[in-house]
Amino acid sequence: MGNSLGEGVVNPGGLKIGNRKSALRQSGVRVTERRNPAATALDTRSTKAILQIINHEDRGVAVAVRKTLPQIARAVDLAVDAIRAGGRMVYLGAGTSGRLGVLDASECLPTFGCESVIGVLAGAPVALTRSLEGVEDSSQQATRDLRKIRFSSSDLLVGISASGAAAYVIGGMRWARKMGAKVVGLTCNPAAPLKPFANVCIIPVVGPEVVAGSSRMKAGTAQKLVLNMLSTATMVRLGRVLSNRMINVQLTNQKLWKRGGRILSELTGRSESEATKILKASGRKLPVAILMATKRIPRVEAERVIRQSPNVAQVLREAMGEVNS
């Protein structure tokens, strides 16, 4: 498959498109806003050809994210330090970027039993379901929104902006740095204006979108992958996952109740009926139930042990004799 701009680009549909002059004309445009030569004449393509082009472009997203693993690791360490010290990890964004932050944050309580990850979206709650593009232009509003959640120097701020130029995000990052808080930037633009305000900057470069400027596509996918890694690795490091089991899952519906019983049974060797009884006796708290089942102690004692431990997974491993497994 050809890809020389000098000779023209051949896209998955087989059409020769693009040239060096058109590439040079875009050199001063943010990468998230540039036209993608592989998608020229997209509107003339068949349904299958459109999907092939999108899928072909998406293949590079995971590769771009992989190149940022060292920066993601540093961000995870900052998040772990903040939460262990009583702070929070706060996602700040506008539009698609902000919604992705809210989505990731909202999953941390039911999945990991953690309320220390917060999503702040410009224009929320209306902006959750409706596009309010103008709200990203106010840097002062970011400060007001962060003050509403009592953001402090003990918190970690993660500013999310595909272009890295949203005034709302930059304003929040600048204010957080002045307060003495650690700040992470997540963008898909290597020349992002937010870079000077971040202690760590995560920049998966995914290139121009199939629909020029529609950063909900590859850039959004890259941001979602990074946020998945950031929150999940942080929760694992904090002892909220045992092996690969979500031991802090909130048992709030039948599906999750059954999952909790299955996890308890697998970890302790108890039958399903025994697991159900222990879960009920634990107050529907899976870590407490696991400790009750393995050490054969009452709920009050199990809760005390867990409350005093900085790492629940380690306590449970020790109780099950799996310290070195």
Count the domains in the chain. Answer: 3
At 4, is the pLDDT very low, low, confident or very high (cuts 50, 70, 90)?
very low
Contact 62, 224 (CB under 8 A): no
Same domain? For 113 and 199 the reply is yes
Identify whether 249 is part of a domain.
no
Q: With b meaning 16 or more CB within 10 Å and e meaning fewer, what string describes 33-49?
A: bbbbbbbbebeebeeeb
Mean residue pLDDT across the chain: 87
Same domain? For 283 and 313 the reply is yes
Same domain? For 275 and 189 the reply is no
What's the pLDDT score for residue 216? 87
Q: Which region holds residue 271: left if phi is over 0, alpha if psi is between -120 and 50, else beta?
A: beta
> Which residues are the active-site residues?
107, 136
Rounded CA separation 20/207 (Å): 16
Q: What is the pTM of this model?
A: 0.84
What's the pLDDT score for residue 204? 96
The CATH number linked to 267 is 1.10.8.1080
Same domain? For 189 and 109 the reply is yes
**Would the pLDDT of 5 be above 70?**
no
What's the pLDDT score for residue 242? 93
**Cα–Cα distances in angstroms (integers) from residue 42 to residues 19, 48, 212, 220, in the given order:** 17, 11, 11, 20
**Per-residue pLDDT tens for 161-205?**
999 999 999 999 999 999 999 999 999 999 999 999 999 999 999
**Per-residue pLDDT tens for 283-295?**
999 999 999 999 9
Rounded CA separation 250/175 (Å): 35
**Per-residue pLDDT tens for 75-131?**
999 999 999 999 999 999 999 999 999 999 999 999 999 999 999 999 888 887 787
Q: Count Cα neighbours of 158 within 13 Å in the Cβ-side half-sphere.
A: 33
Same domain? For 180 and 97 the reply is yes
Q: Count Cα neighbours of 248 within 13 Å in the Cβ-side half-sphere.
A: 21
Contact 39, 213 (CB under 8 A): no
Identify whether 324 is part of a domain.
no
The residue ranges of DSSP E strands in 239-302, in sequence order, are: none
Same domain? For 175 and 29 the reply is no
Domain that holds residue 193: 64-237
At 138, is the pLDDT very low, low, confident or very high (cuts 50, 70, 90)?
confident
What's the pLDDT score for residue 18? 42
At 21, is the pLDDT very low, low, confident or very high (cuts 50, 70, 90)?
very low
Rounded CA separation 98/92 (Å): 6
